[in-house]
A and B are shown apart, each in its own frame.
Chain A
Amino acid sequence: DGGITQSPKYLFRKEGQNVTLSCEQNLNHDAMYWYRQDPGQGLRLIYYSQIVNDFQKGDIAEGYSVSREKKESFPLTVTSAQKNPTAFYLCASRPPGRTYNEQFFGPGTRLTVL
């Protein structure tokens, strides 16, 4: 899982509540990404950030929000507007430079809406 930590590992939420998932990296990477994974599916990109104080929507940003106030941290908030939030959430980061494209992943947070 490299130098990326995600917390908590398991998260339970009642419908209508916002919840924030933590992602921290000590790899000095500029770019960070949030993905959602549903059972038996691949990863879908929610948001990404290439630099502090800047972030872009991915393919499924509706109902989610992010911030990037520090290079090391890229928290994801799942809002009550997200209709089906139960999923496995993965955070990743990428080293700087054009030619290096590998992403390093955290261990994930499993969110269950009760």
Chain B
Amino acid sequence: SQQGEEDPQALSIQEGENATMNCSYKTSINNLQWYRQNSGRGLVHLILIRSNEREKHSGRLRVTLDTSKKSSSLLITASRAADTASYFCATSTPGSGNTGKLIFGQGTTLQVKP
């Protein structure tokens, strides 16, 4: 089942601009994670935000979480051509117990033009 829906599906920006992508989900969560996938490769974990947190930073990444709206956003500042990839949100729900199961969104494809 797909819990997360991401918006936009595709985003094209110039190098140096900021990129914002959004994720909405349907049920309550323990935490929400963002992953990056370069074309034809595996996913790489970027950042995790817990349900009791509202904002988190990691380098050029800023993640916000609004549990009342069941949504999260990922902001990449000062983008670089190397940031070109697909970005996925993934949620861990209370129903998953200790299994570590994640539910992934459909992803946003980001293209950063040099």
Within 8 Å of chain A (Cβ to Cβ): is B2?
yes
**Partner among A48, A59, A88, A110 whose Cβ is within 8 Å of the Cβ of B1:** A59
**Partner among B4, B40, B45 whose Cβ is within 8 Å of the Cβ of A102:** B45
Within 8 Å of chain A (Cβ to Cβ): is B60?
no
Contacts A42-B2, A101-B30, A101-B33; is A108 near B104 (CB within 8 Å)? no
Dominant SS at the A interface? strand
Within 8 Å of chain B (Cβ to Cβ): is A111?
no
CB distance from A54 to the nearest CB of B (A): 11
Q: Which residues of B contact A (CB under 8 A)?
A: 1-2, 4, 9, 30-31, 33, 35, 40-45, 48, 88, 90, 92, 98-102, 104-107
Asked if A101 contacts B88 (CB within 8 A), the reply is no
The chain B residue sitting closest to A110, CB to CB, is: B40
Q: Which residues of A contact B (CB under 8 A)?
A: 1, 4, 6, 31, 33, 35, 40-45, 48, 50, 56, 58-59, 88, 90, 92, 94, 98, 101-108, 110
A-B contacts, 12 listed (Cβ < 8 Å): A1-B41, A6-B42, A40-B106, A42-B104, A42-B107, A58-B101, A90-B42, A101-B33, A102-B33, A103-B102, A104-B45, A105-B35
A108–B41 Cα distance when bound, in Å, is: 6
Dominant SS at the B interface? loop
Asked if B43 contacts A105 (CB within 8 A), the reply is yes
Contacts A59-B1, A102-B33; is A45 near B101 (CB within 8 Å)? yes
18 more CB-based (< 8 A) A-B contacts, given A45-B102, A59-B1 = A31-B99, A40-B106, A42-B2, A42-B104, A42-B107, A43-B88, A43-B104, A44-B2, A45-B101, A48-B101, A50-B98, A94-B100, A101-B92, A101-B102, A102-B48, A103-B45, A105-B35, A107-B42
